[in-house]
Amino acid sequence: MSKYKEIKGFKVQTLASDTAASVASTGTWASGGSLNTKRMGAGGAGTQTAGTIFGGDADGGSPRYGLHENYNGSTWSEETDLIQGASYVGGVGTQTSALKFGGYSSQRWNLTELWNGSSWTELNEQSTARFGQASVGQVSTAALTVGGSSASSATSNVVEQWNGTSWTEVNEINNGRSYFGGSGTTAAGLVFGGTPESGYTELWNGNSWTNVTAMNTDERYGVASATSGTSTDALGFGGGYPTTTANTESWNGSTWTEQNNLGTTRRNLTGVGTSSAALAVGGEPPIMTNTEEWTTTPAPTFTKQNLGQVYYNSGSNAFKVTQFVFPTGTWASNAAMPTATTERWGTGNSNSDAIFMSPPGVSMEWNGSSWSNGGTQNNNWDSRSAWGGSSSAIVAGGGTAPRTYVETYNGTAFTEVAVLNTGRGGLPAGSLGTSIDDGLVFGGATPGNVEAETETWNGSSWTEVSDLNTARRGSGNSGSGSTSAACFGGNVPSTNSSALTETWNGSAWTETTDLNTARNAGSGFGGTTSAGYVGGSSYPSLPPYNVKTEFFNGSTWTETGDLANGRYHNKGGGAGNSAITGGGYLASPSGGQSTENAVWTVDQSNKTITVS
């Protein structure tokens, strides 16, 4: 006889702890043993239970230490001093075989020293004397010294490689800097953060450097790294100037994810260990002896999150489901666009697939880590409506002398297709799904008028359908196509900036809950029950421009993560949990066109299932 469960039910996992996005996301910092001597700017190597740090200074000036300490997992012990005391030194290797290079004490040093477990020995010097460099390498016989402050540049881009005997110059990093973190090996390395204050990240493939996704927290001067991490599994923590942070981020080879913070905010600290077992040692301000230990959940209890999974947590005696909690989303700064853009157009399917139009008419494509030039459109006007991504997009209307032209993009070239029934500019910024054969255009402006007209697209022709309840231009939009869309904000002649929201069901527009902040010329993203609206201006008040993001769940708007810089006439698009916005006008300099852009990410979360 069949059991009821086999006919109607399904098995639910029983887990001792909640699912997690990654092993790193289960990590926490805890206090460890204090250093014998307070310091900042020391070099480090080894593991969490067998770490070593050397050099540094006590007050940001002098003395520059040669002091050297080892860690056994609970306490620090003093060891033989460096031959040349210095701060902001580089370091790689293990507790019994460590390499120290560069540093500063009255001058920049190019000295290299090797620790054999009992004493230090001088080896061949670097070609370029420097301090504040990033260190890449896991053994004392193979390392990279990257950037730093040299005699010719306070933020050098010079890179040298160590082969166990001598240093050789190799290809430079793209963004010269100092006081930054490094991880990986001479065949696959990673550097991030530093000054000029940035979250820039670059990958090394053994021959050249490539800019990839920046850290979520910018201005990471004096950031520390787990020195034994890899280019696909790294940990960065602390840093910042003038504001110092306790933020910890993990790198998975393509993106940075915020993790649990350090217990003590600091910069110019020393990092030791791996992404799953690290040490954060010393740092400032004030200069300290504090050690913290980063530990992730042991592998046997780790279960990876999958969207929509249901499980029973035996520890908390609760059923749980993994879901996106959209109002918890955050914006992270991205690599700058090649060309500033404002009122043209931009759209994306996600935070790793987007296309924006530059003023000359050449498209700029985003793949999640870098920008590249794409095709040139046939009709270069502003305020056009667009949806899709870098390999398949559609763009319609636009211009101050409103146009009817429509073009599709196939990842290489733009092709003109059937025109709109009514030419108009001032069209919504946002995205309406991924299909270029299904969508709609609404609102906008014609000479002397603000429009309410709506037209649907079936891949070959445009059809006039029911108008918006309120005519407007410069609104935001979101949705999945011709049968599901939302329109919010915009410029309404009677009130200027508007908070009005309307949803489209394929046949009619329905007014629903207003935005919390009236605005126009912002950018929308998502669907009709998971939409976002970011940036814009409260016209006619210009500036300040808006930093706010509001999230719509189908019935109400909730304010959530802000942009770093307010802007209007920004463009973009994507899904409710993965989007991009970019360009626009910035408040400073007033009216300045922007190359800035940011990506929106919503992490999965475990929520208890409750019955009401």
- Assess whether pLDDT exceeds 60 at residue 502: yes
How many whole angstroms separate alpha carbon 295 and alpha carbon 276?
Answer: 6
- Assess whether pLDDT exceeds 60 at residue 249: yes
- Assess whether pLDDT exceeds 60 at residue 361: yes
> Of the candidates 94, 82, 76, which has an alpha carbon nearest to the alpha carbon of residue 143?
94
Compute the 3-state secondary structure of the chain and give helix, strand, coil in percent, each to the nearest 5: 0, 45, 55
Cis peptide preceding 300, ω within 30 of 0: no
How far does Cα 204 stand from its chain's mean position? 19
Task: Provide the token pair at 381.
Answer: 């006007």
Q: For residue 595, what pLDDT is reported?
A: 85
Count of CB atoms within 10 A of residue 127's CB? 14
Q: For residue 21, what pLDDT is reported?
A: 81
Count of CB atoms within 10 A of residue 607's CB? 12
**pLDDT band at 127, cuts 50/70/90?**
very high
What is the chain's mean pLDDT, rounded?
91
DSSP assignment string, 23-74: SGGG-EEEE-PPPSS--BS-EEEE-SSSEEEE--BSSSSSPBP--EEEE-SS
- Assess whether pLDDT exceeds 50 at residue 4: no
**pLDDT band at 605, cuts 50/70/90?**
confident
Q: For residue 591, what pLDDT is reported?
A: 54
- Assess whether pLDDT exceeds 60 at residue 1: no
Q: For residue 58, what pLDDT is reported?
A: 82
Q: For residue 594, what pLDDT is reported?
A: 80
> Of the candidates 177, 266, 171, which has an alpha carbon nearest to the alpha carbon of residue 224?
266
Task: Provide the token pair at 413.
Answer: 């070239």
- Assess whether pLDDT exceeds 90 at residue 538: no
> Of the candidates 97, 94, 37, which has an alpha carbon nearest to the alpha carbon of residue 66?
37
pLDDT single digits (tens) 372-396? 999 999 988 888 999 999 999 999 9
pLDDT single digits (tens) 281-301? 999 999 999 999 999 988 778
Query: Residue range 474-481: average pLDDT?
Result: 95
Given a contact cutoff of 8 angstroms between Cβ atoms, the answer to whether 398 and 382 are in contact is yes
Query: Residue range 42-50: average pLDDT?
Result: 97
- Assess whether pLDDT exceeds 90 at residue 2: no
- Assess whether pLDDT exceeds 80 at residue 51: yes
How many whole angstroms separate alpha carbon 346 and alpha carbon 371?
Answer: 13
pLDDT single digits (tens) 72-82? 999 999 999 99
Angle at 382 between CA 376 and CA 385, to 5 degrees: 90
Q: For residue 592, what pLDDT is reported?
A: 64
Instruction: Write the CA distances from 177 to 83, 210, 255, 484, integer angstroms.
Output: 27, 15, 21, 48
pLDDT single digits (tens) 173-222? 999 999 999 999 999 999 999 998 788 899 999 999 998 888 888 789 99
Q: For residue 23, what pLDDT is reported?
A: 86
pLDDT single digits (tens) 409-456? 999 999 999 999 999 999 999 989 889 999 999 999 988 899 999 999
Count of CB atoms within 10 A of residue 491's CB? 23
State which fold the 24-301 domain adopts: Neuraminidase (2.120.10)
**pLDDT band at 3, cuts 50/70/90?**
low
> Of the candidates 142, 49, 39, which has an alpha carbon nearest to the alpha carbon of residue 82?
39
How many whole angstroms separate alpha carbon 293 and alpha carbon 30?
Answer: 5
pLDDT single digits (tens) 112-126? 999 999 999 999 999
pLDDT single digits (tens) 54-92? 999 987 666 678 999 999 999 999 999 999 999 999 999
Q: Which residue intervals of the chain bear CATH 2.120.10.80? A: 24-301, 334-604
How many whole angstroms separate alpha carbon 576 and alpha carbon 528?
Answer: 9
State which fold the 334-604 domain adopts: Neuraminidase (2.120.10)
Q: For residue 266, what pLDDT is reported?
A: 97
* Beta-carbon contacts of residue 58 (< 8 Å; ≥ 6 apart): 37, 38, 39, 65, 287
Instruction: Write the CA distances from 162 to 13, 140, 465, integer angstroms.
Output: 50, 9, 68
Share of the chain above pLDDT 70, in %: 96
**pLDDT band at 345, cuts 50/70/90?**
very high
Q: For residue 590, what pLDDT is reported?
A: 52
Query: Residue range 397-404: average pLDDT?
Result: 85
> Of the candidates 597, 62, 49, 101, which has an alpha carbon nearest to the alpha carbon of residue 368?
597
- Assess whether pLDDT exceeds 70 at residue 146: yes
β-partners of residue 585 are 568, 593
pLDDT single digits (tens) 22-34? 888 899 999 999 9
How many whole angstroms separate alpha carbon 75 and alpha carbon 283?
Answer: 18
Q: For residue 480, what pLDDT is reported?
A: 94
